[in-house]
């Protein structure tokens, strides 16, 4: 991994899931570099606690909180409106919020929660903010994916897991969707000065998967001490958000800050275009 920018002064960065784990440490890293950072949290109390911690750790007061639930399309619309009304620029969007649910749950919109939170909410948010991001170019969109995308497929016949559900399948599918979305976005943004890249942060010791019990709890207990700290994992996200050497790098998948191939499925342009179409329909994106 190369160096992050020496300064992000004057840059505006929005980080979803910024109240916890990798997102929170990414916010700290960007604020330390002088950026104005807005974190998104679905819970106001958790968000305010994180906000104080980020300000203290980064020694910056240029950190703001917006409360929104990425699994609710109405909430995503409100978030976009609030952001657009308050900030005239958006240079970096880090789509980081994510969830793993062992049991099938549905959102207020009647959609499966894992796919909606991890992919659809960010798909809609990015599109609602895209004109502002383009107008702020050079600017960057960074999607946090996972190695769990490997072996996954987009099951267009059962996208919402209504016929058959498995937490691992839903999570893997959502993380593959993050990559397909990144590559398609990069294609659509060609020549605009906006880049779109994605990142697998590695195995990180966060609260992630806290809803999973049984075997996973055991695995986390055993491998926990060997997992990366969120501070270390966030370095890669800060690098992607700020490094001058990545200024014109787009449509790439990074693992802990190094460019790496993602799965064969993730390069399927027909799937990516179809996913974009279906996502636009599901989120009522005009
Ligand atoms: N940890 C790992 O080993 C690992 C590995 C590969 C990829 N990742 C990816 O890294 C990203 C960050 O995860 P993390 O490890 O930092 O876990 P984390 O500490 O649990 O952070 C996830 C964040 O997403 C937020 N979130 C979940 N559902 C939301 C919703 N509906 N609306 C708004 N925010 C929501 C959480 O809010 P609450 O605090 O309210 O739950 C939290 O702030 C995820 O996309 C995950 O898939 C993690």
- Give residues (CB < 6 A) around ligand 1: 17, 19-23, 42-43, 46, 69-71, 96-99, 117, 144, 146, 200-201, 203-204, 206-208
pLDDT in tens, 79-108: 999 999 999 999 999 999 999 999 999 999
Catalytically annotated residues: 171
- How far CA 163 is from CA of 69, 100, 104, 149, in Å, comes to 26, 19, 11, 21
Ligand 1 centre from 191 Cα, in Å? 31
The ligand 1 atom nearest the CA atom of 42 = 33
pLDDT higher than threshold 70 for residue 236? yes
227 vs 199, more confident: 199
The ligand 1 atom nearest the CA atom of 175 = 47
pLDDT in tens, 101-144: 999 999 999 999 999 999 999 999 999 999 999 999 999 999 99
Owner of token pair 């993730």: 266
pLDDT in tens, 36-64: 999 999 999 999 999 999 999 999 999 99
Ligand 1 centre from 187 Cα, in Å? 27
Residue having the nearest C-alpha atom to atom 36 of ligand 1:
17
Ligand 1 centre from 152 Cα, in Å? 19
Q: Alpha-carbon distance 221 to 61, whole Å?
A: 36
The ligand 1 atom nearest the CA atom of 230 = 16
* Residue 215: per-residue pLDDT: 60
Q: Three-state DSSP class for 285?
A: coil
* Residue 216: per-residue pLDDT: 63
pLDDT higher than threshold 70 for residue 220? no
> Of 16, 29, 97, 238, which is best to mutate to test ligand 1, by the most ligand atoms within 8 angstroms of its C-beta?
97
- How far CA 79 is from CA of 37, 70, 85, 175, 181, in Å, comes to 15, 9, 10, 23, 20
Instruction: Please check whether residue 184 is in contact with residue 208, taking contact to mean a CB–CB distance below 8 angstroms.
Output: no
DSSP secondary structure letter of residue 119 = I
Please tell me the least confidently modeled range out of 13-22, 36-45, 146-155, 200-209: 200-209
The ligand 1 atom nearest the CA atom of 118 = 45
- Alpha carbons within 13 angstroms on the beta-carbon side of residue 240 total 34
Q: Alpha-carbon distance 159 to 83, whole Å?
A: 30
Closest CA to 93 of 133, 64, 124: 133
Ligand 1 centre from 206 Cα, in Å? 8
Number of Cβ within 10 Å of residue 169's Cβ equals 18
* Residue 5: per-residue pLDDT: 85
Owner of token pair 């929170």: 24
DSSP H stretches of helix in the chain: 21-32, 44-58, 73-86, 113-115, 121-135, 167-188, 215-223, 230-242, 269-282
Ligand 1 centre from 118 Cα, in Å? 9
Number of Cβ within 10 Å of residue 219's Cβ equals 12
């Amino acid at each position: 991994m190369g160096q992050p920018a020496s300064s992000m002064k004057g840059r505006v960065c929005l980080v979803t899931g910024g109240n916890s784990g990798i997102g929170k440490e990414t916010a700290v890293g960007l604020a330390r570099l002088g950026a104005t950072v807005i974190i998104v949290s679905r819970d106001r109390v958790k968000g305010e606690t994180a906000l104080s911690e980020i300000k203290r750790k980064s020694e910056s007061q240029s950190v703001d909180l917006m409360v929104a639930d990425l699994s609710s399309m109405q909430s995503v619309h409100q978030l976009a409106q609030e952001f657009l009304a308050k900030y005239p620029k958006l240079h970096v969007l880090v789509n980081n919020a994510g969830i793993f649910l062992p049991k099938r749950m549905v959102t207020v919109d009647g959609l499966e929660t894992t796919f909606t939170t991890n992919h659809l909410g960010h798909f809609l948010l990015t599109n609602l903010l895209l004109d502002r991001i383009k107008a702020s170019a050079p600017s960057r969109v960074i999607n946090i994916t996972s190695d769990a995308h490997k072996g996954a497929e987009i099951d267009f016949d059962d996208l919402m897991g209504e016929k058959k559900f498995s937490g691992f399948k839903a999570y893997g599918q959502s993380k593959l969707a993050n990559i397909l979305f990144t590559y398609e976005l990069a294609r659509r943004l060609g020549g605009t000065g906006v880049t779109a890249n994605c990142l697998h942060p590695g195995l990180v010791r966060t609260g992630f998967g806290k809803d999973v019990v049984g075997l996973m709890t055991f695995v986390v207990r055993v491998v926990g001490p060997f997992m990366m700290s969120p501070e270390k994992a966030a370095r890669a996200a800060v690098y992607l958000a700020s490094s001058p050497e990545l200024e014109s790098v787009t449509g790439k998948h990074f693992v802990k800050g190094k460019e790496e191939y993602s799965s064969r499925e993730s390069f399927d342009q027909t799937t990516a275009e179809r996913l974009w179409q279906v996502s636009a329909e599901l989120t009522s994106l005009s």
